[in-house]
Amino acid sequence: MSPHLSSLQNIATRLRIESIRATTASASGHPTTCLSAADLMAALFFADMRFDPKNPQHPEADRLVMSKGHAAPLLYAMWAEAGFIPRERLTDLRLFTSNLEGHPTPRLPFVDVATGSLGQGLAAGVGSALNARRIGSDYRTYVLMGDGETAEGSVWEAAASANFFKLDSLCAILDINALGQSRHTELQHDLETYRVRWSAFGWNVISIDGHDLPQILDAYKKARESKGRPTAILARTLKGKGVSFTEGLPNWHGKPLSKEQMDKAIEELNRRLTTETGGDKSSSGGDKPPGLSIPAPPPARPEPAPMPLTPPAFKLGDMVATREAYGSAIAKLGTADPRVVALDADVKNSTFSEKFEAAHPERFYQFFIAEQVMIGAAMGFAARGAIPFPSTFAAFLTRAADFIRMAAISGVNIKLAGSHAGVSIGEDGPSQMALEDFAMATAQPNFVALYPSDAVSTERLVAEAAAFTGPVYIRTSRPKTPVIYDNNEHFPIGGLKVVRKSDKDVATVIGAGVTLFEALKAHDQLKAKGTSIRVIDLYSVQPIDAASLIDAGRATNGRLITVEDHYISGGLGDAVARAVAPAGLTVHRMAIPEIPRSGKPDDLLDKFGISARHIVNAVTG
């Protein structure tokens, strides 16, 4: 064996040893899934990828997404082998005091997106590869996937998108060890069926023995040479490879070795080191591998600085749907900031992201009707420095709820835009009405949730969302609503607007989106009868301006009434109630109380209890 191969094999063995050692130390984790991928990863990291072991976030470095996140100990061992993590820290795995968590999260600088919910990594890889194109870099993106996770439909969404975008810088490495958590996988070692499926989705497919280093190296080389389409390397492997009593055996998933088993395994692996290199017996090495050096990425090029934005240019009283203002706003933002990209799922003419496409076709990405890969790709974009705005009907963002959950865990800088909120969409019926989107978004404690009511606030909030670092959700509405704010008004995240106020207000009505206008109608009807109410536009649902809400409650007899085009749980009412509870204030919640149905928008607002008439009754009743 050449010194090169012998070094790689030693590295692979050390990765195995460290994966076992760390999981035994933590008495939890998944050693055998690390063992199946160790050869693939040793060859990738130490004989193919270019990166800077001192700066994992280098913008020109090749990326590795560990989609099979339960192989985290392997990933950590790789970065220890590269010198980034002190080797002795690897046994801190899964401790509260360590960032070496059970599944990788971006608390570690070499992790772009959190993994551990299977089937998400390839979608992030699509975003990462598209970002390379955006910045004109030739960095490559690798995704290590388990075989089991290819059962997830999101994988096939990502496969189709990668083909559509001709992402030849993307390489999926499938660790086909044939064993899932609870049983063998559906396809076991049927590499031919895998080949047929990935080929059917337009990929360049290379099938190899995933424990044969020359085959592995050759596959990476061929993947690099493939042009115009992504590559899938199908690697036949054995779970638990390298340890005789785990190799290819079921019932080892998620089970660390006992201390005795570990000693036996390491002894066996150490022999492998001895025999095959004749050299280094140490498994706690840190030796420089002979004949191996990690190629450095080219110098980083800073992103162009964004230009300042001009104020909105709407006229008071003009009728503009917030979804339409959203489209204009991202188009304008895209002109000012080249990091901004827009993604859509075949509804660009409803979300008005088509305005961005018209202005910046090179930064608009069509994902057809595949919301999971759209959000996953946005995560990959965000992790590489872009500011992605993926948009679809808010109802269909629920399709990507698990991606949104993982986006929150990742803390990535994505800006979700959901249109067609609530019953105010009318005739299309409940399947198209988002009535649980705030429940989904605000459940994530680090998500910002915004809900503009007019065109000015929409444009301002889109700019606020872009300027904020972290995940943001923006909800827009279908109906046209009047412009009520001056173009110079500001809408900081975490604020609210008191839009009607007097010294004699008997109650505070809090709305946003279409219900703000119902509240304003109610205000006028009540005023005509001599009753004053305060009206608040709660454009920032999370974070929320608790102090102002408490002030308003105290100034209006403790009467706070929320009215929202959302189900009662997890929406504006709950958010306000949480904010004012410490002051001893309660909230009267008006929301959609049941599964709605088709009808005319105004009829539905009234039938489901959130129209001006109902607000008037709530105030006077």
> φ, ψ for residue 429 (rounded to 5)?
90, 180
**Shorter beta-carbon distance to a copy of itself: residue 59 or 553:** 553
Q: Is 598 in the site for a copy of itself (CB under 8 A)?
A: yes
Q: What gap in Å lies between CA 380 and CA 414, rounded to an integer?
A: 9
Q: Counting contacts by CB under 8 A, is residue 101 touching a copy of itself?
A: yes
Candidate residues 40, 575, 618, 619; the one interacting with a copy of itself per rule CB under 8 A: 575
**Which residue among 105, 215, 283, 322 contacts a copy of itself (CB under 8 A)?**
105
| Interface of this chain with a copy of itself, residues 17 to 76, rule: CB under 8 A | 26, 28-29, 69
CB nearer to a copy of itself: pick between 259 and 597: 597
Least gap, CB of 584 to a copy of itself (angstroms): 6
Q: Tell me which residues in 167-226 interact with a copy of itself (CB under 8 A).
A: 180-183, 185-186, 193, 196-197, 199-201
Q: Strand 448-450 vs strand 540-542: parallel, antiparallel, or unpaired?
A: antiparallel
Instruction: Of 42, 50, 53, give the one whose Cα is nearest residue 84.
Output: 53
C-beta of 196 vs 316, nearer to a copy of itself: 196
Q: Identify the residue among 312, 411, 422, 513 touching a copy of itself (CB under 8 A).
A: 411
Residue 371 is a catalytic residue: yes
Residue 573 sits in the site that holds a copy of itself (CB under 8 A):
yes
Per the CB < 8 A criterion, the answer to whether 173 and 217 are in contact is no
Q: Given strand 387-393, what is the order of strands in its sheet?
A: 364-366, 340-344, 387-393, 415-419, 472-475, 448-450, 540-542
Q: Which is nearer to a copy of itself, 253 or 460 (CB)?
A: 253
Q: Does 360 bind a copy of itself (CB under 8 A)?
A: no
- Asked if the peptide bond before residue 388 counts as cis, ω within 30 degrees of 0, the response is no
528 sits near a copy of itself (criterion: CB under 8 A): no
The residues that bridge with 473 in the sheet, in sequence order, are 416, 449
Q: Which of 399, 460, 478, 559 binds a copy of itself (CB under 8 A)?
A: 399
Q: For residues 139 and 168, what is the distance between their CA atoms, to the nearest angstrom?
A: 11
Size of the site for a copy of itself (CB under 8 A): 113
Of these, 18, 48, 157, 505, which contacts a copy of itself (CB under 8 A)?
A: 157
Please identify which residue in 112, 149, 337, 537 interacts with a copy of itself, judged by CB under 8 A. 149
Nearer residue to a copy of itself within complex by CB, 143 or 216: 143
Sequence-distant contacts of 582-585: CB under 8 A, at least 24 apart: 582/546, 583/550, 583/553, 583/554, 585/550, 585/553, 585/554, 585/558, 585/560
Q: Which of 5, 401, 499, 506 binds a copy of itself (CB under 8 A)?
A: 401
- The DSSP annotation for 111-152 comes to -SS---STT-HHHHHHHHHHHHHHHT----EEEEEESGGGGS
In 3-state terms, what secondary structure has residue 235? Answer: strand
3-state secondary structure of 93: coil
Distance separating alpha carbons of residues 131 and 382, to the nearest angstrom: 9
The C-alpha torsion from 429 through 432 and 435 to 440, rounded to 10°, is 160
- Residue from 160, 174, 205, 213 touching a copy of itself (CB under 8 A): that is 160
Residue 147 beta carbon to a copy of itself: minimum distance, rounded to whole angstroms:
10
CB of 122 to a copy of itself, least distance (A): 11
Catalytic residue among 149, 371, 436, 518: 371
The residues assigned a catalytic role are 371
